[in-house]
Amino acid sequence: MSLLGGAIAEAIIIEYGRSMFLQKLSDPFWFQSLGCVLGMDWHSSGITTSVMGALKRSVNQRSHELGVYICGGRGKYSRQTPNELLHIANKTGLDGNALILNSRMSAKVDNTAVQDGFQLYLHNFIVTKEAEWAVVQQGMNTDSKMARRYHWHSAAFQTFLEEPHTSIYGKNQGLILNITDKMAGPAKNAILKLTREDPEKMMKEIRQLVMPGHHEVREKDLNLKRLGAVLALAQEQPPKDMESLLLLKGVGPRTIQSLALVSEVIHGTPSRFEDPARFSFAHGGKDGHPFPVPTKVYDESIEILNKALQHARLGNADKMHAFANLSKAAQQIEADFKPNNKFSELIEKERADSWKYGGRTVKGFSKKPATDVQQLKLF
């Protein structure tokens, strides 16, 4: 997860810049999609801890090159954030005290100003060498055992106490005490003695990401047309010009399927992440849903992306551009693609073939089934 997550982060920074990387981290749909691509359970609260832990390990090893630093973590690691920020400030010349204040304010807001029954247990503060920052933090409701994730981006708000979040991801709790709400002016005047904010400021439109109660991936959880287009790209013979451009000779269809979804995580626009479950078809899930993690494919995805990044660092961006063309090719197929409703058979086939690709879950490696499953033609 660290290797692939780090490669994806670097690819985004090279192609679009550090600010775009923070912007993507602050989008809950993209964040959930990234977690799926990395092989995490598609609707688990553990995605937050695992993804941020993997990114911290990989990105911080090359922060001096990438210009991005990730601090904090879960539990005791979250409390180390101030010291980590001071260390970064000493190396970069950034204002460490200002960064610490931003970190503490974001945590205070989500723990106290937004009283929704969730107490923070994870806090990650991500900062660039330009002092732009983002926060990904998560709280737990001890009664319901449900988690809620909070996303921040410094470029997206003006004040900590008026709708500062890019998104709050979790089930709607109904009416709660939220003094960051635009309509909470009177309460803020009485409790915090703040000046009245501009009442004409438009409320931001945010999409709601709510995960279902079921653990398995179901047909209704994803866009079959988009997924089918990726499978068509993988199963049909790629155009010769694309094959030579990507230098993917010898790479099998199953790896192309994964690479196309990884490519979309790097290059896709926000509207492409409205069905995060689709991205679990890149590398499965450690719980076996929708299928075991194909470790051989996973390693090949990392190797191919790292080779493209290595060429980009040396000034040859052709492979990175070609990598981006994978997601574009899938979208071209998608325009006229019509799925034929074989979703359950698709999952059956993936699970039956899992042993070929080093399929693995938390319970161990996949075994060859007693009977073969017939080859499917897309969906």
Angle separating helix axes 28-37 and 2-16, nearest 10 degrees: 130
Closest among 353, 379, 348 to 366, alpha carbons compared: 353
Cβ within 8 Å of residue 193, ≥6 positions away:
none
Beta carbons within 10 angstroms of residue 145's beta carbon: 8
Beta carbons within 10 angstroms of residue 295's beta carbon: 18
Q: Which helix (H) or strand (E) holds 135?
A: strand 133-141
| pLDDT number for residue 244 | 36
Q: Please, which pLDDT band fits residue 196 given cuts at 50, 70 and 90? A: very low
State the average pLDDT over residues 186-210. Answer: 46
State whether the Cα torsion 121-170-51-24 is positive or negative. Answer: negative
- Beta strands 114-115; 364-365: pairing state: unpaired
Cβ within 8 Å of residue 203, ≥6 positions away:
163, 182
Tokens of 37: 């691509």
Per residue in 39-81, pLDDT (tens digit) is: 887 667 688 999 999 999 999 999 999 999 999 999 999 999 9
- Long-range pairs for 178-181 at CB < 8 Å and ≥24 separation? 178/113, 178/114, 178/115, 178/116, 179/113, 179/114, 180/109, 180/113, 180/114
More confident residue, 337 or 264: 264
Angle separating helix axes 253-267 and 28-37, nearest 10 degrees: 160
More confident residue, 363 or 246: 363
More confident residue, 245 or 179: 179
d(CA 299, CA 262): 13
pLDDT at residue 246 tops 70:
no
Per residue in 304-347, pLDDT (tens digit) is: 888 888 888 877 777 777 777 778 878 877 777 777 657 788 88
Angle separating helix axes 253-267 and 318-334, nearest 10 degrees: 100
pLDDT at residue 31 tops 90:
yes
d(CA 306, CA 239): 23
d(CA 369, CA 50): 31
Q: Output the pTM of the full model.
A: 0.75
Least confidently predicted of 13-27, 43-57, 336-350, 356-370: 336-350
d(CA 312, CA 242): 18
| pLDDT number for residue 349 | 84
- Do 217 and 365 form a contact (C-beta atoms < 8 A)? no
**C-alpha angle 242-315-309 in degrees, rounded to nearest 5:** 60
| pLDDT number for residue 116 | 75
Highest mean pLDDT range out of 104-108, 151-155, 160-164, 280-284?
A: 151-155
d(CA 192, CA 198): 17
